[in-house]
Amino acid sequence: MLITHDESLILLFVFKVQRLAGRADAGHNVAAEIKALVEEACDCFATTLNTDATANRDAFK
C-alpha cells in the first residue's frame, strides 16, 4: 500500500532546515548548505519505497 507522504522523514529535514535557520539568524551564510540540504531531501524522497516522492516534496514545501 502506498502512503501519501512520510511525516517522520519530512520532519527530519524540517529540523535540519531549522538548525540552518538558527545559524542564518546568527549571521552565517547558509545558502550553499540549504541548497545541498534541499537536494539531499529530494534525493531521499525519490528513493523511498512506501511513499510518493511528489507527496513528500509537496509536504516538505
Integer Cα distance of 51 and 22 in angstroms:
30
DSSP collapsed to 3 states, the chain: CCECCCHHHHHHHHHHHHHHHHHHHCCCCCHHHHHHHHHHHHHHHHHCCCECHHHHHHHHC
Please tell me the pTM assigned to this model.
0.85
Q: Which pLDDT value is given to residue 30?
A: 97
Read off the pLDDT of residues 21-56 as tens digits, 9 standing for 90 and up. Answer: 999 999 999 999 999 999 999 999 999 888 889 999
Q: Give yes or no for residue 2 having a pLDDT over 60.
A: no
